[in-house]
Structure 1
Amino acid sequence: MNKATRKAGAPYSFLAPALILFVLFLAAPIVYAAYLSLRRTKVTGLGLGAGSRHEVWAGLSNYARSLTDPDFLPSVLRVGAYGMIVVPTMLGVALLMALLLDAGRTRVGTFARTAIFLPYAVPAVVASLLWGFLYLPRVSPINDLLTGIGMTPPDLLSGSWVLYAVANIAVWGGTGFNMIVLYTALRAIPTDLFEAARLDGASDVQIAWRIKIPIVLPSLIMTFVFSLIATLQVFAEPMTLRPLTNTISTTWTPLMKVYRDAFIRNDIYAAAATSVVIALATFVLSFGFLKLVGNRAFNQED
């Protein structure tokens, strides 16, 4: 092998470990799930003995069963309401914190960035357990504090509050990551723009609204897409809180329905079909949104 060939193959050798892991742990499971979604188990006789159960072609019947399941549409609507709470709140708070840190309004910038980002490092299951302890009326120190000052604390795990309780965990855990992404984008803006704006009499609010936010719009769109994908895949938080309340069912989200079908009902074919539907919805919504606003945002410098 000559020097030119080795040089041309060097990039692929660096990419090879990531590509192998991608194929083994992401691409292959997706293909296998799509295969299972088109199969079903056929039982012959009484279903006893060797050969009495075998896989056969099912076509789109698993998708029909999944989409017509009475628990599927409510779980989708519930996730939609969850996303309408989580995504705007999380990105709005993250953008506000990034702007405040970039404007130098706090003298403890390093500590503030670390403190805001730290919840993101807490695993979702651990965060849900921590917040679940704070939500339980009998053990929550917040309830004791509110009762001590004469206020009636709400039952955050009741049917009317549990959606906000789950959304709060996601906002608490995800705001720091989005803040770091937006703050990094803000720090990359040339300071000459701000100095020129101040010479023209612009205030900090005007600089943020008319200069900073339009420039970091691509980063804001990227964080929106990441948040949208995470919303469609919400699972850990409601699954962890479920033993603490009767208001979270086994099909509270589409992924919880997948878990129920696969591991409780032992119907891996219906679970695979629902998984493929979720994956397709994630792809369509993510790339549809990027197609809708991406050209304007990412080509704004042209």
Structure 2
Amino acid sequence: MHAITVKAPGGPDVMEWTELRDPEPGPGEVLLDVAATAVNRADLLQRQGHYPPPPGASEIIGLEASGVVAALGEGVTGWRVGDEVCALLAGGGYATKVAVPAGQLLPVPAGVDLVTAASLPEVACTVWSNLVLHARLRAGETLLVHGGAGGIGTHAIQVGKALGARVAVTAGSADRLARCAELGADVLVNHREQDFVAEVGGADVVLDNMGAAYLSRNVAVLNPDGRLVVIGMQGGRKAELDLGKLLAKRATVTGTGLRARPLDGPSGKARIIAEVRENLWPLVAAGRVKPVVHAVYPLAEAAAAHRAMDDGSVVGKLVLTA
């Protein structure tokens, strides 16, 4: 197979198109002939040496892929060679073949082509697990999404609206906010010019990718019984938390991650995959939640895609075709 490898941590140019030995599916795994993968912020961190894969995962970058089932490992049921699927990965997506636990496979949603499907697993599993399984977002509540124009944000807006929530977003330009509005966002906040606490007024659920930089204001914007879910640290790792304000609001602050979760268990990836397949995929098939793909690059040109994400102009996802 061919894959993108990283010769040493650094900028986009440290990635190389390399020929490697084909992976083989182990027990409970499926081998995919990869059609496409997608770029996530975590990929850039891994390339820079800041986000190593969990133990046992592939060293190759890439947290999702779409493709065709090429082989089944021992004990796999429910899938056949030739099935078109997409998959959540702990690593290995930037390659022409990848082995993945069968419990992390999803069928390609109805109405979505195989290449575009590569943009869905990471955002779908992240958003559904955090907004629905963890934060219990309900119709009539207000959801605040930071980074509304990104891959997670564009998906979260649509899921929030499909669930009947009022959706507020932050983004850094009028153009990016306009795209959020097209996806259904009700309240648009330019974080470079406006205070989201004042503009939003109150939120029942906050989905935050900033971490430390927004912690105090996120707590301030929460309504009574509000839920703050931190999924990123683009604004730093450490901040002071006023527990008095948290207690007064009966609020919760939770940090969650997806990549290092086990396959099985109540918070495992297999459960999240099953929930997404049962509850979110029908919304995708109905066109109520749509993939948002900014651009498509050949996998061999992954460095160009990373540079595009670095410059801050991407809305939604970047897809890499194998």
Q: Under a length normalisation based on structure 1, what TM-score does the superposition of the two structures give?
A: 0.26
User: Is the helix fraction higher in 1 or 2?
Assistant: 1
Q: Which has the larger radius of gyration?
A: 1
Q: Under a length normalisation based on structure 2, what TM-score does the superposition of the two structures give?
A: 0.25
User: Is the strand fraction higher in 1 or 2?
Assistant: 2
